[in-house]
Amino acid sequence: MVKQNANWSPYDNNGGTCVAIAGSDYCVIAADTRMSTGYSILSRDYSKIHKLADKAVLSSSGFQADVKALQKVLKSRHLIYQHQHNKQMSCPAMAQLLSNTLYFKRFFPYYAFNVLGGLDEEGKGCVFTYDAVGSYEKVGYSAQGSGSTLIMPFLDNQLKSPSPLLLPAQDSNTPLSEAEAVDLVKTVFASATERDIYTGDSLEIMVLKADGVKTELMALRKD
């Protein structure tokens, strides 16, 4: 009996791309709605964005079964927090919780590539980007998932602050308005859809502000 190599994997990649951009008093979280496996499409309108708390929204690409399980765990933990503290979790608190939850499964990870967006305690937009085992960083913008390699360099070009070492000195970026950020998101997804086969169908954009959240749906190429 020849030892067979494992041809069963506990993981699958359902594709898709997630992006988030932080503004001065808003946060834009966007993801495409295509769910795939291999070269097949499972769904054209599957939402990868999930609101965890009033001021914290999670968007995850990767293995959606693990993403769903992760969302359930975070939702239960948030309920416990609310019972104990009589208030909702802040975005930075949720960011730390997500990191701890991911690392808890360091040796059988959640196959989830997360971007957490929301408003911090001062009301400013914040974005946290993660790897599968919980390493995270607070950033001004991020992209994760199958189209991230196409989108991230473009976001760097448009949003990254110029280095303070440059000569002649360039001033830092003017703050991005909400409309500009939403427009940028639409542009990057339209471009990523062109070349990434796992990204497309439609784009779900969630804008989180102090007074609430607005969701918008934009059509993307379906091929």
Which residues make up the interface to another protein (CB under 8 A)?
72, 76, 79-80, 83
User: Please, what is the minimum distance in Å from the beta carbon of residue 72 to another protein?
Assistant: 6
User: Please, what is the minimum distance in Å from the beta carbon of residue 97 to another protein?
Assistant: 15
Alpha carbon 177 to chain centroid, angstroms: 20
Which is closer to another protein, CB of 72 or CB of 195? 72
The H or E element containing residue 9 is none
Region of residue 150 (left: phi > 0; alpha: psi -120 to 50; beta: else)? alpha
Residue with tokens 């909400």: 178
How is residue 100 written in tokens? 């701890």
Which is closer to another protein, CB of 71 or CB of 191? 71
Strands (E), 159-201: none
Longest dimension (CA), the chain: 70
Which is closer to another protein, CB of 48 or CB of 78? 78
User: Please, what is the minimum distance in Å from the beta carbon of residue 206 to another protein?
Assistant: 23
Which is closer to another protein, CB of 9 or CB of 84? 84
Q: Is the peptide bond before 164 cis (omega within 30 degrees of 0)?
A: no
Which is closer to another protein, CB of 69 or CB of 197? 69
User: Please, what is the minimum distance in Å from the beta carbon of residue 15 to another protein?
Assistant: 25
3-state DSSP call for residue 192? helix
User: Please, what is the minimum distance in Å from the beta carbon of residue 79 to another protein?
Assistant: 5
DSSP string, 106-156: TTS---EEEEEEEE-TTS-EEEEEE-TT--EEEESEEEEETTHHHHHHHHH
Which is closer to another protein, CB of 73 or CB of 190? 73
User: Please, what is the minimum distance in Å from the beta carbon of residue 177 to another protein?
Assistant: 36
